[in-house]
Amino acid sequence: MIKIELDNLGNNIKKHRVSKNYSLKELAEEIDVSTSLLSQIERGKANPSLNTLKHISKKLDIPMFSLFTEDYNNSVMVVKRGDRIRITNGESSSKNYQLSYDLLSPDMKGDIQLCEMTLSGKQFNSDDFNLHKGEEVAVCILGRIELMLENETHILDTGDSVRIPKGTKHKWRNPGNNECSIIFAITPPTF
């Protein structure tokens, strides 16, 4: 998978922060990190956690993957498997991760976003419930995954799919010991 340049990530965070008229100190306070850490992230000197990236994107009201993408034109773009943008929680250079997201769409410019999420055994995708401004559709492509929708729980086996209406609180859990994966689409792109 593509190795994200920390300088590019930091520049994108700073660009979005400035466009939303946040000072470094204001954003740091809002996402509960030190001003020094946020400054280091923006300068490409520190690697933020997945949780910090989620807080930054939520506070700036931008899709998390937009922090990693560069500007492209509107032409057709093929994304080769080895060129995907990957965000992981754990060691990204090996299979020793608990959670990974691959952006399958070439960028964040279209009306729909396609991603693959992989969870190692017994892992959740998030501590908190997620919700999106738009609709999400997911298909289990490997193993078995548990979907918690507000007050309901559903098990999806390989090949099963689900549509999650906009604004529905949800999170995913791998109930087994082996890796599981889903491919999901969100419209409009918000992840």
Residues 131-187 pLDDT 10s: 888 899 999 999 999 999 988 999 999 999 999 999 999 999 999 999 999 999 998
4 neighbors 67 (Cβ within 8 angstroms)? no
CATH number of 81-187: 2.60.120.10
Domain 6-62, what fold? Answer: 434 Repressor (Amino-terminal Domain) (1.10.260)
Q: Is 38 helix (H, G, I), strand (E, B) or coil?
A: helix
Residue 92 is predicted with a pLDDT of: 45
User: Angle at Cα 143 formed by Cα 82 and Cα 169, nearest 5°?
Assistant: 90
Q: What is the pTM of this model?
A: 0.66
In whole angstroms, how far apart are CA 142 and each of 19, 102, 107? 40, 15, 25
Which residues of the chain are under the pLDDT cut of 70? 1-7, 70-76, 90-97, 108, 191
Residue 5 is predicted with a pLDDT of: 55
Residue 34 is predicted with a pLDDT of: 92
Q: Name beta bridge partners: 148.
A: 153, 171
- Outline which parts of the chain fall under CATH 2.60.120.10: 81-187
- Outline which parts of the chain fall under CATH 1.10.260.40: 6-62
Residue 94 is predicted with a pLDDT of: 45
How many whole angstroms separate alpha carbon 86 and alpha carbon 126?
Answer: 17
